[in-house]
Structure 1
Amino acid sequence: MNISIGNDHAGTEYKFAIKEHLESKGFTVKNYGTDSSNSVDYADFIHPVAEDVENKKADFGIIVCGSGNGANMTANKHQKVRSALCWNKEITALAREHNNANILSIPARYTAKEQVLEMVDVFLNTEFEGGRHQNRIDKIPLSC
């Protein structure tokens, strides 16, 4: 499975932990994030992840910033992206089961590293339920 990951300066430590965790499980990880704690603009590192997911170059995306909000807003500008801001494994499971989220947005400043690794596992191992939820997802994109 191919995973694209992106982060700003607040998410660098978590990005490295996630990347190592995923690679140890045999996932291929494309790193678009900064490798530094120097201040950067999150959008520069999130758009490439969303483009990979949108264009099916990645099965899923994982994005990390301080609150998770800026990264999440940026990713959701892409038409085929359903990025979910999650802060625990229960919300993460629902994002996959009910919303068929294809990008996980993580708030680095409000989660613990161990918690984040659990969320990543839940995200990648939870199936979309379909059914009534598919009708709702079909209504998300705007047609211009």
Structure 2
Amino acid sequence: MKRHVLTESDVRQVAEGSRLTVPPGTIITPAARDAAAARRIEICRQSEDLARSVAIGADHAGYEMKERLKELLTQLGFSFYDFGTHDPRPVDYPDVAVKVAEAVSQGRFSRGIIIDGAGIGSCIAANKVPGVRAASCTDVATARNSREHNDANVLTLGARLITPETMREIVQVWLSTEVGAERHRRRVEKIMAIERKYLAH
């Protein structure tokens, strides 16, 4: 497995006085530690258990695919909590999406996966929760891009748009891909800075 290295440049992309969570096994350079101390940034290592924990949820349209997702996560060695729905009776997707998004935002789970009919409504709802970067993905390429370029922490899927096999491929790639080069981290931090700006009002 590829090991991550946290550099001084990475730290300087993070807002002063904030917390920076890094994956298990990350190598933190001495210069990165010095930069963090100077900028009052707390570096926290994500636990192995948390790194492999996923919050999941679906509306009635995504219920059957969610049940298949649970089997896949078990096969891949991930723990999960199912925020519903627990049967195919109609429910409103924003109610489920916000539960999953809040669980990720609060740090109770490292990532979240939400399934509805198209994957779009749940994505919009989840992105209203501070700290969430939800991406609606329809294939392996968008799944990889959402992680590598955007550090997406919530994946939304459309059960009416993809097959169960495509779901499996997307989820496996999404869970195994980490954020990429420094330029991507810098751009993600700019996204989060926009969020902080509007939360301050």
TM (norm. structure 1) is 0.96
Counterpart of 2:71 in structure 1 is 20
Matched AA of 1:123: W
Q: Which runs of 5+ in 1 are unaligned?
A: none
**In 1, Cα distance between equivalents of 2:181 and 2:53:** 22
- Do residues 95 (structure 1) and 95 (structure 2) align? no
Number of residue equivalences: 144
Q: Which moved more, 1:36-45 or 1:4-13?
A: 36-45
TM (norm. structure 2) is 0.69
Residue deviations 1:52-97 (CA, integer Å, cap 9, x gap):
1111110110000001111000110111110000000111000000
- Helix, strand or coil at the partner of 2:191: coil
Counterpart of 2:106 in structure 1 is 55
Residue deviations 1:92-121 (CA, integer Å, cap 9, x gap):
000000000011110111000000011000
- Do residues 73 (structure 1) and 124 (structure 2) align? yes
Q: Which runs of 5+ in 2 are unaligned?
A: 1-51
Counterpart of 2:43 in structure 1 is none
TM superposition shift of 1:25 = 2.4
Could you tell me the percent identity over the aligned residues?
Answer: 40
Q: Which has the higher contact order (CA 8 A, sep 6+)?
A: 1
One of 109, 116, 119 as aligned partner of 2:170: 119
One of 157, 164, 186 as aligned partner of 1:135: 186
Matched AA of 1:138: E
